[in-house]
């Protein structure tokens, strides 16, 4: 897949996830904005952004923290974590990944509390890195997609726009996986996590904050 086509497909995946979540949120609360600023989201964004921006000044950080199967198998397991806060796409890729993460966190913050969204991001990121160990690299895009896909399932609402957005996300995840693109399994992993959480939670009716009661002041 050429870089141009890959970029277009990834943006389509993010847009589909954003639309699915926003549409479900607006169905439940038509008079509320589809985004919400939360302190946990800001902290998570900074945890990802600071190392990524430092890497621009110290490029050697990428080599020290990127995922690499041979090195991980020799004991440097922390690369499964550090690879999520470093970037292998240069300045353009770094700014794109951080921008997409910021938008995603604002939208996800309208649906999930930090106690659920942060673990989704972490597990999705580490799980995606494990699935791609044979392909050295780094970046937060897979963790972001896993979080986005999981939230789209958890906060799903039977509204046409939400259905179409989630369906598009599923199709893109499947197609990218078949084509061997690293972002496909990340989307599918997020969808699976979302299904598991939705089944375990089994809300009687769609609550305002997704699957839990409205977040308290400590969540914002």
Domains and CATH numbers, the chain: 3-212 (1.20.1540)
217 C-beta neighbours (distance < 10 Å), count: 6
Q: What is the mean pLDDT of residues 64-77?
A: 90
Distance separating alpha carbons of residues 26 and 181, to the nearest angstrom = 32
> What is the reported pLDDT for 5?
86
> What is the reported pLDDT for 176?
95
Q: What is the mean pLDDT of residues 99-114?
A: 96
Token pair for 10: 């990834």
39 C-beta neighbours (distance < 10 Å), count: 13
Distance separating alpha carbons of residues 94 and 145, to the nearest angstrom = 15
- When pLDDT is cut at 50, 70 and 90, the band that residue 28 belongs to is confident
In this prediction, what percent of the chain has a pLDDT beyond 70?
91
């Amino acid at each position: 897949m050429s870089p141009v086509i890959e970029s277009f497909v990834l943006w389509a995946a993010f847009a589909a996830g954003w639309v699915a979540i926003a549409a479900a949120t607006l169905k439940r609360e038509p008079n509320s904005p589809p985004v919400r600023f939360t302190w946990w989201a800001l902290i998570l964004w900074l945890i990802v952004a600071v190392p990524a921006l430092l890497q621009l000044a110290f490029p050697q950080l990428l080599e020290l923290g990127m995922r690499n199967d041979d090195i991980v198998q020799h004991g440097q397991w922390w690369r499964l974590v550090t690879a999520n806060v470093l970037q292998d796409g240069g300045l353009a890729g770094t700014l794109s990944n951080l921008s997409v993460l910021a938008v995603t966190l604002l939208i996800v913050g309208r649906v999930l509390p930090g106690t659920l969204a942060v673990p989704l991001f972490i597990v999705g990121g580490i799980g995606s890195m494990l699935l791609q160990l044979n392909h050295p690299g780094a970046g937060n895009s897979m963790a972001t997609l896993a979080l986005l896909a999981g939230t789209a399932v958890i906060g799903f609402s039977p509204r046409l726009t939400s259905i179409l957005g989630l369906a598009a996300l599923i199709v893109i995840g499947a197609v990218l996986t078949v084509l061997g693109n690293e972002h496909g399994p990340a989307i599918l992993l997020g969808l699976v996590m979302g299904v598991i959480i939705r089944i375990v939670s089994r809300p009687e009716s769609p609550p305002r904050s997704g699957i839990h009661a409205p977040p308290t002041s400590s969540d914002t």
